[in-house]
Amino acid sequence: MEITLQEDLDPDTEFYYQRQFEIYHDPYLIWDRDTWEEILHACDVYRIEVDGNYAGDVIGEKRGEDAMYIVDFSLLPSFQGKGIGKEALEQMKKKRRGLTAVTRKETLPFFLKTGFVLKRTIKNYYIKGVDGYYLKME
Residue of 114, 4, 93, 15 whose CA lies nearest to 50: 4
Could you tell me the pTM of the whole model? 0.91
Please state, rounded to an integer, the average pLDDT across all residues of the chain: 94
pLDDT value at 65 more than 90: no
pLDDT digits (tens, 9 = 90+) for 66-106: 889 999 999 999 999 999 999 999 999 888 889 999 999 99
User: What is the domain extent for residue 50?
Assistant: 3-137
- pLDDT tens-digit profile of 105-117? 999 999 999 999 9
CATH code of the domain in which 114 resides? 3.40.630.30
Contacts made by residues 51-59, CB under 8 angstroms, sequence distance 24+: 51/1, 51/2, 52/2, 54/19, 55/3, 55/79, 55/84, 56/23, 56/84, 56/85, 56/88, 57/8, 57/16, 57/19, 58/5, 58/88, 58/89, 58/92
- Could you give the number of structural domains in the chain? 1
Cβ-proximal residues to 20 (8 Å cutoff; 6+ apart), any chain = 29, 30, 31, 36, 74
